Amino acid sequence: MKMIKVLFKSIREYTKDSIFAMLFVFFEVIMEISMPFLTSLLIDEIDQDKIAAARTIGFDFTKIIWLSVALIAMSFIALGSGVLSGKYAASASAGFAKNLRKDLFKKVNDFSFANIDKFSSSSLVTRLTTDVTNVQMAYMMIIRTAVRAPFMMIFSVIMAFVQSPQLAWVFVIVVPLLFGALIGIMIGVHKIFRRIFKKYDALNESVQENISGIRTVKSYVREDYEINKFKKASGEIKKDFTYAERIIAWNQPVMQFAIFALNLVIINVGGYLILKNTTIVNGEVKQVLTIGKLTSLITYGIQTLMSLMMLSIIFLMILMSLEAARRITEVLEEQPTIKNPENPVFEVKDGSIEFENVSFKYKADAEKNALENINLSIKSGQTIGILGGTGSSKTTLVNLISRLYDVSEGTLKVGGIDVKEYDLDTLRNQVSVVLQKNLLFSGTIAENLRWGNPNATDEELKQACDLACASEFIEGFNDKYETHIEQGGSNVSGGQKQRLCIARALLKKPKVLILDDSTSAVDTKTDAKIRAGLKQFIPETTKIIIAQRLTSIQDADLIIMMDGGTIIDRGTHEELMKKNSEYRETYLAQNHLAEEGGAK
């Protein structure tokens, strides 16, 4: 229930359309209910006796004309209502979906890294796309039929009683039976489907793996192996789906059985009842039940059963979209773990950074701290190198500086003030991070660069690119800064991508620049050139460099060695060469011939 409340908050301006849609459906139903009644009166006018009499004494057209006029008018009203309800339902559901997506997208943009980690980005994509579509479809069904089906059913049964109480009892028997059977089928099928869809998703997942891993498949000559694997999985899905669809297929005959049973009873018992209740007085035939009424009873019967069918389909749709709805609500209800403070500080004084007894864990209930008791003091303008194996929490350490995550214990100060006191945008604009998993977005190079500063002039773009050693290859492109970057930056090389990302980060003119393994794909010469440039042109900026290549950090003012979330040693290159054997070994491993080469 709470879920529905959360979701329905997104209907907003489309509440009106939703209500109108239901209102017009209501009118449509009224018309559709009344029409068979009038039609039965019309049919009764088309009677051999009346016609025979009419031929001798003249026919009274008044009744038939009035009936016809009324019916045609009602048809038009029904048409109008139907069209309007259809349009309103379309705009209400599309609008609801639009607002849902809007709210979700906005919410995700408020998320912190911790929130995003919790959901994973691909699951967020599904929630914003497929899940919303499912809820939208269910919503459209609901507003179009939630009014129609019950009203239609109730009115139809009432009208059936009006037309012939002696026959209408059959409705009372057939309706609950059919309803029970349909719901039973739906519930059974729903369970099976949930299970199969998981398998189906797994199958598609394996297709995806095959597409992205096609080089691996081909180089190990595993085409036939994969085909057999796929055939087996696909065959299993075929079996499961066939089973489920065979159960669903019972819907039709069950429904038809009900219709046939109704027809059978109405026509035969009806025929009997007509005759039993016919009186002929002085050659004038008087009937309580007429053929016209039988016709309308059949129509009411079909309308009742169709409504039932619709109800059972809505029921299934709601069941199937519940999961989607739950997943959407989960995002909407998620509280961002990092929020702006109440009276934020809007200025970062300088690039000094102070870690005081900082510990951090990704989840509150995690057993082990990812960072343990870090103490580190960095002066503004210094260059810091961080070295450490995978899992040593280097990235974690730097992510705390721009408050991508909040420290669990201790304090972290930038420019002398606790990061939690800054306005988030201010802090993140002053602490520029080039992420390890950096990304370019579809758009031109200039557009991508301007993420760093939307108001940057062409001159500034060029400066930043010069510093990041990116201008050399950008100038080589035909369209220069207007070159289009494909999604994910797939049309530039890894090294080029990294250099563009650095340029983008430089455009912020940050007080702290963090390069998280950002030059791994750049050749050593360019790498050195970039570092030299940074030193020369932005001396005020604190630079933190995480790298695998020792050459990238050996000229740093301070090198920190990390392992298992703690700082195990620190010092300059020379100091570490002397005192730390591991450092020395790494250095030698990377450079054991370099000195020789250099010496020659």
Segment interacting with other proteins (CB under 8 A) among 2-10, 166-174, 327-335, 487-495 = 487-495
Q: Could you tell me if residue 512 is left (phi over 0), alpha (psi between -120 and 50 degrees) or otherwise beta?
A: beta
Closest to 26 (Cα-Cα) out of 71, 107, 79, 81: 81
Among 176, 184, 213, 539, binds other proteins (CB under 8 A): 213
Among 34, 166, 263, 566, binds other proteins (CB under 8 A): 263
Question: How many other CB atoms are there within 10 angstroms of residue 446's CB atom?
Answer: 17
Q: Where are the beta strands (DSSP E) in 196-352?
A: 278-281, 284-287
Among 377, 493, 579, 581, binds other proteins (CB under 8 A): 493
Segment interacting with other proteins (CB under 8 A) among 5-13, 340-348, 359-367, 585-593 = 585-593
Say whether residue 584 binds other proteins (CB under 8 A).
no
| Contacts of other proteins in 275-294 (CB under 8 A) | 275-276, 278-283, 285, 291, 294
Distance CA 140, CA 89 (A): 6
Question: How many other CB atoms are there within 10 angstroms of residue 367's CB atom?
Answer: 6
Binding mask 501-540 for other proteins (x = CB under 8 A): ---x---x-----------xx-xxx-xxx--x--------
Distance CA 140, CA 134 (A): 10
Distance CA 357, CA 266 (A): 86
Binding mask 221-260 for other proteins (x = CB under 8 A): xxxxxxx--xx--xx-xx--xx-xxx-xxxxxx--xx--x
Say whether residue 549 binds other proteins (CB under 8 A).
yes
* DSSP classification of residue 487: G
For the bound state, the minimum distance from the C-beta of residue 59 to other proteins, rounded and expressed in Å, comes to 5
| Contacts of other proteins in 130-159 (CB under 8 A) | 130, 133-134, 137-138, 140, 144
Residue spans of alpha helices (H) in 538-593: 550-553, 573-579, 581-591
| Contacts of other proteins in 416-475 (CB under 8 A) | 424-425, 428-429, 432-433, 435, 437-439, 441-442, 451-452, 454
Say whether residue 304 binds other proteins (CB under 8 A).
no
* DSSP classification of residue 485: E
Say whether residue 191 binds other proteins (CB under 8 A).
no
For the bound state, the minimum distance from the C-beta of residue 42 to other proteins, rounded and expressed in Å, comes to 5
For the bound state, the minimum distance from the C-beta of residue 416 to other proteins, rounded and expressed in Å, comes to 22
**Interface size with other proteins, residues (CB under 8 A):** 192
| Choice between 121 and 343, CB closer to other proteins | 121
| Choice between 364 and 599, CB closer to other proteins | 599
* Burial category of 439 from C-beta neighbours within 10 Å (exposed 0-12, middle 13-18, buried 19 and up): exposed
Say whether residue 320 binds other proteins (CB under 8 A).
yes
Say whether residue 594 binds other proteins (CB under 8 A).
yes
For the bound state, the minimum distance from the C-beta of residue 181 to other proteins, rounded and expressed in Å, comes to 14
> What are the φ and ψ backbone dihedral angles of 352, each rounded to 5 degrees?
-80, 145
Q: SS3 sequence, 406-424?
A: CCCEEEEEECCEEHHHECH
Among 34, 166, 210, 380, binds other proteins (CB under 8 A): 210
| Contacts of other proteins in 89-108 (CB under 8 A) | 89-91, 93-95, 97-98, 101-102, 105-106, 108
| Choice between 357 and 487, CB closer to other proteins | 487
* Burial category of 37 from C-beta neighbours within 10 Å (exposed 0-12, middle 13-18, buried 19 and up): middle
Report in angstroms the alpha-carbon separations of 219 from 206, 216, 226, 228, 510. Answer: 18, 5, 13, 17, 46
For the bound state, the minimum distance from the C-beta of residue 238 to other proteins, rounded and expressed in Å, comes to 4
| Choice between 357 and 581, CB closer to other proteins | 581
Among 4, 19, 187, 264, binds other proteins (CB under 8 A): 264
- Could you tell me how far CA 223 lies from the centroid of its own chain? 33
Look-up of token digits 């721009």 = 402
Q: Where are the beta strands (DSSP E) in 486-550?
A: 512-516, 542-546
For the bound state, the minimum distance from the C-beta of residue 192 to other proteins, rounded and expressed in Å, comes to 10
Sequence-distant (6+) residues with CB within 8 A of 30 are 155
Among 19, 83, 172, 288, binds other proteins (CB under 8 A): 83
For the bound state, the minimum distance from the C-beta of residue 198 to other proteins, rounded and expressed in Å, comes to 12
